[in-house]
Structure 1
Amino acid sequence: CKCSPLYPFIPTILWSKANKGTVWRKERNGLQYWGYSWFQRVRCPNSRFEKGDFSLQINNVREGDGGVVVKVVTSVINYCKVTPWPHGATVRWTLNNSPFVPQAGIAANRGTTENVVREKATARLTGNWTCVVDYKGKEGRASAALAVKGVIHPSKDDTKVYAAVGSAVTLPCVFSPSLIPSNPVWEKLKPGFLFKPAPGRLPTSFSSSFSQHPSDQSASLKEVGLEDEGRYRCSGSIAGQRLTRNMQLVVAKSNSIPSKDTGSATLTCQLTDTSEVTDYEWVHVVYDLNGTRSVGSLQKGKSVSISRVSKENQGEWACRFYGRDGILGNITYHIQLMSGLSGQTSLGVSHNTAAMVGLSFLLLVLLLILAQMYKNHRRRKRIFQYPALETIVHTVSNEREERERKQVKN
Structure 2
Amino acid sequence: MMLLECFIFVVITILMTGAQCEETEVFAEAGSQAVLPCKCGPSSPYPSNIIWTKDRKGTVWRKGKNGLQFWGSSFLPKENQRLQCPHSQFERGDYSLQINNVRKGDGGIYTCKVDHGDQVIENVVILRIMEVSISSLVPVWGNDVTISCNVTPCPHGAAIQWMLNNSPVMSQTGIILNGNAVESFVREKATARLTGNWTCVVGYKGNKWQASAALTVKGIIHPSKDNTKVYAAVGSAVTLPCVFSPGLTPSNTLWEKLKPESIFRPIPGRLSASFSPPSPSSQFPLDKSASLKEVGFEDEGRYRCSGTVEGQRLTRNMQLVVAKIDSRTTSKERGTVTLTCQLSDSSDVTDYEWVHVVYDLNGTQSIGSIQKGKTLSISKMSENQGEWACRFYGTEGILGNVTSHIQLMSGLNGQKSSDPSDNTAAVVGLSLLLLVLLLVLVKMCKNHQRRKRIFQYPALETIVHNTSIEREERERKREKK
TM-score range, shorter chain: 0.5 to 0.7
Instruction: Give the whole-Å Cα distance in 2 for the aligned partners of 1:276 and 1:333.
Output: 22
Against the structure 1 CA distance between its residues 361 and 169, is the aligned structure 2 distance closer, same or farther, given a 3 Å change threshold? Answer: closer
Unmatched 5+ stretches in structure 1 = 1-71, 367-410
> Which residue of 2 is the match for residue 82 of structure 1?
151
- Per mean C-alpha deviation after superposition, the further-off stretch among 207-216 and 183-192 is 207-216
> Which residue of 1 is the match for residue 167 of structure 2?
101
Q: Deviations over 1:340-361 (max 9, x none)?
A: 799x999x97896486278479
- Tell me which of 301, 311, 314 is aligned to 1:230: 301
Alignment of 1:302-321 (within 5 A): 302-311=374-383, 313-321=384-392
Are 1:283 and 2:355 an aligned pair? yes
Aligned partner letter, 1:222: K
- Of all paired residues, the percent bearing the same amino acid is 63
Partner of 1:200: helix, strand, or coil? coil
- Per mean C-alpha deviation after superposition, the further-off stretch among 200-209 and 330-339 is 330-339
Are 1:247 and 2:318 an aligned pair? yes
- Tell me which of 194, 201, 208 is aligned to 2:270: 201
Q: Is the 8 A contact 1:319 1:331 kept in 2?
A: yes
Are 1:147 and 2:223 an aligned pair? no
Instruction: Give the whole-Å Cα distance in 2 for the aligned partners of 1:361 and 1:269.
Output: 46
CA-CA distance at 1:187 after TM superposition: 0.6
Against the structure 1 CA distance between its residues 224 and 148, is the aligned structure 2 distance closer, same or farther, given a 3 Å change threshold? Answer: same
Moved over 6 A (4+): 106-112, 339-342, 348-352, 360-363
Are 1:272 and 2:341 an aligned pair? no
Are 1:327 and 2:393 an aligned pair? no
CA-CA distance at 1:299 after TM superposition: 1.4
Partner of 1:82: helix, strand, or coil? strand
Q: Is the 8 A contact 2:162 2:198 kept in 1?
A: no
TM-score (norm 1): 0.60
Q: Is the 8 A contact 1:318 1:331 kept in 2?
A: yes
- Per mean C-alpha deviation after superposition, the further-off stretch among 323-332 and 191-200 is 191-200
Instruction: Give the whole-Å Cα distance in 2 for the aligned partners of 1:111 and 1:274.
Output: 49
CA-CA distance at 1:338 after TM superposition: 5.5
Q: Is the 8 A contact 1:251 1:271 kept in 2?
A: yes
> Which residue of 1 is the match for residue 5 of structure 2?
none
Q: Is the 8 A contact 2:199 2:212 kept in 1?
A: yes
Instruction: Give the whole-Å Cα distance in 1 for the aligned partners of 2:189 and 2:339.
Output: 43
Q: Is the 8 A contact 2:337 2:406 kept in 1?
A: no
Q: Is the 8 A contact 2:258 2:301 kept in 1?
A: yes
**What RMSD in Å do the two structures reach over aligned CA positions?**
3.6
The structure that has the greater radius of gyration is 2
- Tell me which of 156, 165, 177 is aligned to 2:225: 156
Aligned partner letter, 2:324: K
Partner of 1:144: helix, strand, or coil? strand
CA-CA distance at 1:110 after TM superposition: 9.3
Aligned partner letter, 1:172: P
Q: Is the 8 A contact 1:77 1:116 kept in 2?
A: yes
Instruction: Give the whole-Å Cα distance in 1 for the aligned partners of 2:256 and 2:378.
Output: 42
- Give the aligned length: 285
Partner of 1:309: helix, strand, or coil? coil
Unmatched 5+ stretches in structure 2 = 1-140, 443-481
- Tell me which of 163, 172, 185 is aligned to 2:241: 172
Aligned partner letter, 1:171: L
Against the structure 1 CA distance between its residues 325 and 357, is the aligned structure 2 distance closer, same or farther, given a 3 Å change threshold? Answer: closer
TM-score (norm 2): 0.52
CA-CA distance at 1:147 after TM superposition: 2.4
Aligned partner letter, 1:195: F
CA-CA distance at 1:92 after TM superposition: 5.7
